[in-house]
Amino acid sequence: MGDAHRSSSSLPAAGSVNIEQAESSFHELSRQLSQETTVGGRDRTQKSRGEDGKKSNDLEKGSLDLYQPFDLREYLTSSNEANERAGIKHKHVGVVWEDFRVDVLGGLNSKVSLSATQHPALCSLARSHTDEAWQFWLTPFFKLRTLLSDFLPSKVDNAVTSTILHKCSGLLEPGQMCLVLGTPGSGCTTFLKAIANEREGFYHVGGDVHYAGIDAQEMAKTYKGELVYNAEDDIHIPTLTVGQTLNFALSTKTPGPRGRLPETSRSQFNASVKNMLLKMLNIAHTENTLVGDSFVRGVSGGERKRVSIAEMMTTRARVQCWDNSSRGLDASTALDFVRSLRIMTDVLGQTTFTTLYQAGEGIYELFDRVMVLDRGHTVFFGPPDQARAYFEQLGYRSLPRQSTADYLTGCTDPNERQFAPGRSEVDVPSTPRALEAAFHSSDLFRDLADQLAKYKIRTETEKTDQEAFRAAVIEDKKKGVSRKSPYTLGLKDQVVALTRRQFQRRLQDKFYIYTSFGFMTALALFIGGCYYNLPPSSAGAFTRGSVIFVAILISSLDTFVEMPMQMFGRPIIKKQTGYGFYRPSAIQIANTLADLPFSASRILIYDIIIYFMIHLSRSAGGFFTFHLINYVTFLTMQGFFRTIGLFCSNYHTALRVGIAIFPNLRWLFWIFYINPVNYAWSALMENEFHRITLTCDGDFVVPRNVGNATKYPAELGPNQICTLFGAQPGSRIVTGKDYVQAGYNLNTDDLWRRNFVVLVTFLIFYWFAQVVVIEWYPQLVGGGGVSFFAKDTAETKKLNSELEERKIANAEEQRREKILAMDGIKNKRDHNTFPDRMAFTWEGLNYHVPVTGGTLQLLNNVYGYVKPGTLTALMGASGAGKTTCLDVLAQRKNIGVVAGDILVDGRPPDTDFARGTAYAEQMDVHEDNTTIREAMRFSAYLRQPFHVSKEEKDAYVEDMIELLELQDLSEAVVWSLGVEARKRLTIGVELASKPELLLFLDEPTSGLDAQSAWNLVRFLRKLADSGQAILCTIHQPSSLLFESFDRLLLLGKGGNTIYFGDIGEDSHIMREYFARYGARCPPNVNPAEFMLEAIGAGVTPRIGDRDWKDIWLDSPDSARTKAEIEQIKREALARDRPVNVRRSTYAAPLWYQLRIVVQRNALALWRSPAYVFTRLFSHLIVSLMVSLPFLQLGHSDRDLQYRVFAIFWVVVLPGLVIPQLEPVFLMNRRTFIREASSRIYSPYIFAIGQLLGEIPYSVLCAVIYWVLMVYPIHFGQGSTGTNGTGFQFLVILITELFAVSLGQLIASISPNIQIASLFTAPVSIVLNNICGVTIPYPTLSKFWRAWLYPLDPFTRMVAAMLATELHGLTITCKPDEFAVFTPPSGQTCAAWARDFVNAAGGYLDNPNDSAACRYCRYTVGDEFFLPLNIRYSHRWRDVGIYFCFFVFNFVATIIASRYLRFARR
């Protein structure tokens, strides 16, 4: 069907595909893809059974039927024919673009400074400290302006933009594939994203694009899921399995009853498609394996890429854009992938756009059209078989040994292109504009214009494809879904599918379940123990209110983790909503529903423990009301934090907004009324106190028996007064209703009629707000390709100028070297040139990892060696264990069992082995706030020998920048780099270390274009020729690249050796080996691709009946390899080894490590204005919230309480600082884990550097808080005077340091931010409640008082601050503060109350009166704190102990950083 369609719409002769040749190629392709996929099937079948012949439960291996025959073309054709018979419409969508243009802010090669403020879109990314401050305060205005922008008159936008894709026109019909080629920065990705209608990251997209005659606006609105774009990065939920990932994708795209065969159910359809995708991509064996990521062990990088491919294929979209989707795949698998695309495009009539780096000739020939871009200009669009001839006719040199894709790309690269003899830039179009003009004047362009016009007329008149497409999309929808909806499922079904997935995620995250339930239960037991069995008397009245507040605060703070989690999930949401899986609001509804079983059970356990241990009103109604209100509050605050996380662009902005929920007394009083916790606390207080009555006794009776005073009645008498709120004269019984009415102005009738209703209203509002925000105001990741640069200095300007000059000077030399390589002229290599350098060998290498039900062997008896001066390639199928082998050899594995010998010069590796090697890993993890030059210098300073001068190291870094072609990005900040630039930086950081022993590289050319890959391998060749030993995995090498290597280690499935030995000139040695056993490589085929096909690395079957691993084990080459290893060991052991050589783990001394690390940390924090301003803002806002209600306090009893309250707020500061620190520390630890593997610097230095970098900002925060607290409140009125305020600053400063050290300690013992956030609230609650203020020291239970009270750091902080402020502070009660009682008849106030006053303290204001005696409970501030076990004489001791807690945290963080890294690999 697809072939017929292509024939009917074929191009004229000048631009046509050779039909006979295409059919021949297609039948050959069909033959290859139709054969049985038995790669290692027999061996794996045997291994999947135990010795008794029973099948094991190894999750890493599939069932036996995974290796049965699978014919993709037959499967698709039969399915297509069955659909036609059932009347299911086809979906053929041709794409036409005219005058297509894309503009971006900043744009191509523009340098946007980190202090850029010229446009809001840029300001949100690049801010200075000043920008961060003023923009935060104006955020409400910006948000409102954005929301109203559609309704207000627009003004001229003067934003500076650049055109990243210049005007172009083209056509791709159904059943055709287009290969988009260009150098990095040419606009290939931009073209694919724009064609796929993903326009939100661009400033402006101009021109017309029509899909089957439908314009882009209608496609975006109604047919969103029919245009899909597969990004270069693999973004998945790492804790889901491959099967679960595909099951979810299919569940959202399953066609309705009219869109699938009548006898096929939804589950049958999904299972059929999933099995087809798994088999087609050869990942059926990974179905039950976690997808994983850089820090979660799962499938291999190549298998993860195939999961990305399979996920997008589940969309069944008819316009598919693949952005370098072969990245990370071996050559055979990449070819299989494109062959699969070819078949799907032909049979199903898809329209496919693809960009590929390093596309081999076999891949290139599968396309119908090729498009070449040069700096955004279209310089060619036409048939692939005419492209090479076209550029040769323009005057470019013919390079037959170079693949056509590389040749076409090279013609647009000034550093690579070569002109034909006698031609030059003078008479050959070589600039982007000149090449574009040449193409526009060619016959190809005129043919294209003619085809475009005819196709437009046909689509406008016939509309057959358009009508069929519209009908097919409608039939695809599930019953009840609107015709105008761009989704296959309705909102309800989307929510069901998402809820199932989110529930799976939570259920599989056992660590989080255990931790969250454990923390809540422990906290409940702790709070219950602190307030155990409260009496129904005046002594338990105030503490009841306290514990109710603490209980609801804990459950509310438990939801704080939702705020950062909303931001971490944005990339997944952006990708999957782009695929049309679900609308954004569905994920928020599903998150809430999936969390209900876990949160409901967690809060129920928590409430039961607290309610009954504390002895709240023991009635069924009381408990269930308590639980209902507390759980509704939990859901409300969960909704609040989720809404804030969705609404704010970054974590720090969200944190600032969250801080504003603190209640306030006088100014900003409205915050109190919009705080849901206020209504929840009121409701719980009313629920409790309207059910109980209180008896007045103890300290609430004045006067009373205390100390030596014994003359007063034991029961409340007529000459005594109860000071409890709501007490009536002469009555010792106080109803709870009167108590809360008089003391808190709470009406118990408001429980259901106001507070609960308002709380539920808040809950509904926040649920609705989440939907509105994510649906209409999404803060999704993505952008227009703008890089941000640090401000140039005189040094960097000079260095960049020199790099530019060297770039021009070296271009000709690079061109000449490539010409020699193209002509087959090679230098002779002698592998024994460096006998004095150390060789690296491994023997009998085996590696087993634990899996469910047992262990899995990933490497099986691998032998090999790397000699100095040689470049060894490690190749194999995706998932064969290449990265695993490198990890084991580089000693980076920390789980599993490694067996075998790894030797350096015949001896076990020394302690400096990791330092003497460099390992460029697949994951590109760097300090985000450094520039490229700074990152590479950091590596050079700490990894090259210490005796090498700084100037020499700097010069070497400049060489690496030039080698990796990063001249234009040398000052770019890492977080703004694209995928390719980050990969180059990863390689550069390792090369900058100049490893003495061995250089490991894991897929260094993946993601690079052909010229960059050539330059990199050319440099590796030069390093090897100078004596460096190099072992590197490589995917999809061209024959030219492959010949640069000396030796090959080829691994098959299961980590088995297929071949190890020399490659030889023109690969003749390797060719002869495979030919000897029946796999003869044709002369015009890339040997690197052929050998992978020969061993069955992809879906094609292996050549021959025997397994290639068995052939290798029985071959003389295997025996020769083992003999060579023995020879290397004998020669190495025979050489004298230097004695008394001091081996050190690190290249630089500790003091130098500390200096460099602290410099980097300080610079990174300075370039993080959002983080710095958030810290300052939190201290500013809290200090103002505390001080402004209490301006210029005096000497009254109430003012004393306010002073205590203001001091107690200092204990809140760590609770604000810790959540800000944890994400920063955890992100820095990710970088450290990668750097620590190479022994760049000590873990002790990492922990010390993290603290030292924070100290300047801690001092600044302490100053702000101290100034805005001490002086407005009027501290220093006691005997210490103003000198005491200086002491208060010392305590606040230590509090800041303590908060930083505690936050870093919590982060250091946590595996991720989710767990770290769980620690924060419990730690704060425990420390705040036991310090002797919330629960006064006399009422604290003996258990806690005996050990936890003295171990609480805040005990010392509060004691020191209270003693300093209140010592000698005279107290003069105001009239309404006196306790007024009447003495017995005939007695004066002094006569009746003197004994009580002498024992209890305080004073009588009218001692000689005989009525209305006025008693003030304090004379001096010391009388307040002495009963609390606080002594003024102990204040310096308390400060010293407090500082020791900071030191303890610091030391514990160092130890945790050394032993706890949570990096399992």
pLDDT above 50: residue 22: no
* CA angle in degrees (0–180, nearest 5) for 171-172-178: 120
Strands annotated E in 732-777? 733-735
DSSP state of 275: H
Instruction: Supply the DSSP string of 1359-1398, one letter for each residue.
Output: HHHHHHHHTT-B----GGGSEEE-PPTT--HHHHHHHHHH
The rounded distance, in Å, linking the Cα atoms of 886 and 990 is 15
pLDDT above 60: residue 150: no
Q: CA neighbours within 13 Å on the CB side: how many for 555?
A: 31
Strand (E) or helix (H) holding 843: strand 840-851
| Confidence at residue 761, expressed as pLDDT on a 0 to 100 scale | 94
| Confidence at residue 652, expressed as pLDDT on a 0 to 100 scale | 76
Confidence band of 80 (pLDDT split at 50, 70, 90): low
Contacts of 493 (CB under 8 A, 6+ apart): 478
pLDDT above 70: residue 503: yes
| Confidence at residue 554, expressed as pLDDT on a 0 to 100 scale | 87
- Which has more pLDDT, 544 or 831? 544
Q: What is the mean pLDDT of residues 258-278?
A: 83
pLDDT digits (tens, 9 = 90+) for 915-941: 788 898 877 888 888 999 999 999 999
pLDDT above 90: residue 1304: yes
Q: What is the mean pLDDT of residues 656-671?
A: 56
pLDDT digits (tens, 9 = 90+) for 176-208: 999 999 887 788 989 999 999 888 878 889 999
The rounded distance, in Å, linking the Cα atoms of 1151 and 274 is 57
> What is the dihedral angle through the alpha carbons of 121, 127, 130, 132, rounded to the nearest 10 degrees?
70
DSSP state of 695: E
First vs last C-alpha separation in the chain: 48
- Which has more pLDDT, 326 or 1112? 1112
Confidence band of 28 (pLDDT split at 50, 70, 90): very low
pLDDT above 50: residue 4: no
pLDDT digits (tens, 9 = 90+) for 365-397: 999 999 999 989 999 999 999 999 999 999 998
- Which has more pLDDT, 988 or 57? 988
CB atoms within 10 A of CB 242: 28
Q: What is the mean pLDDT of residues 1405-1434?
A: 90
Confidence band of 42 (pLDDT split at 50, 70, 90): very low
Confidence band of 685 (pLDDT split at 50, 70, 90): very high
| Confidence at residue 357, expressed as pLDDT on a 0 to 100 scale | 80
| Confidence at residue 819, expressed as pLDDT on a 0 to 100 scale | 63
pLDDT above 50: residue 8: no
pLDDT above 80: residue 19: no
pLDDT above 90: residue 1436: yes
- Encoded tokens for 1335: 């629960």
Sign of CA dihedral 936, 940, 943, 944: positive
- Which three-class secondary structure string do you get for 1400-1449? HCCEECCCCCCCCEEEECCCECHHHHHHHCCCHHHHHHHHHHHHHHHHHH
pLDDT digits (tens, 9 = 90+) for 298-321: 887 778 888 988 899 888 888 999
Compute CA 232 distance to the chain's CA centroid, rounded to the nearest angstrom. Answer: 16
Most confident of the ranges 104-113, 517-526, 1330-1339: 517-526
Q: What is the mean pLDDT of residues 1226-1236?
A: 87
Q: What is the mean pLDDT of residues 328-339?
A: 80
| Confidence at residue 598, expressed as pLDDT on a 0 to 100 scale | 93
Confidence band of 132 (pLDDT split at 50, 70, 90): low
| Confidence at residue 447, expressed as pLDDT on a 0 to 100 scale | 92
Q: Dihedrals φ, ψ of 926, to 5°? A: -145, 165
The rounded distance, in Å, linking the Cα atoms of 1416 and 1201 is 13
Which residue type is seen at 81? E
- Encoded tokens for 537: 């008397």
Under 8 Å between Cβ of 954 and 937: yes
| Confidence at residue 63, expressed as pLDDT on a 0 to 100 scale | 35
Confidence band of 136 (pLDDT split at 50, 70, 90): low
pLDDT digits (tens, 9 = 90+) for 515-573: 889 889 998 998 888 888 888 888 888 888 888 988 998 888 888 878 878 877 888 88
- Which has more pLDDT, 261 or 125? 261
Q: What is the mean pLDDT of residues 998-1015?
A: 80
The rounded distance, in Å, linking the Cα atoms of 659 and 638 is 15
Mean pLDDT of the chain: 82
The rounded distance, in Å, linking the Cα atoms of 925 and 177 is 35
- Which has more pLDDT, 1314 or 545? 545
- Which has more pLDDT, 825 or 1131? 1131
pLDDT above 60: residue 1191: yes
| Confidence at residue 784, expressed as pLDDT on a 0 to 100 scale | 46
The rounded distance, in Å, linking the Cα atoms of 449 and 507 is 57
The rounded distance, in Å, linking the Cα atoms of 1384 and 1392 is 7
- Which has more pLDDT, 493 or 11? 493
pLDDT above 80: residue 656: no
- Which three-class secondary structure string do you get for 626-644? HHHHHHHHHHHHHHHHHHH
pLDDT digits (tens, 9 = 90+) for 385-442: 999 999 999 999 887 767 888 889 888 888 778 888 888 888 899 899 999 999 999 9
Pairing of strands 693-695, 351-355: unpaired
pLDDT digits (tens, 9 = 90+) for 837-887: 788 999 999 999 887 778 888 899 999 999 988 999 999 877 788 888 998
pLDDT above 70: residue 982: yes
Tokens 């094991």 locate to 56
Total H helices, total E strands in the chain: 56, 28
pLDDT above 60: residue 2: no
- pLDDT > 90 fraction of the chain, expressed in percent and rounded: 27
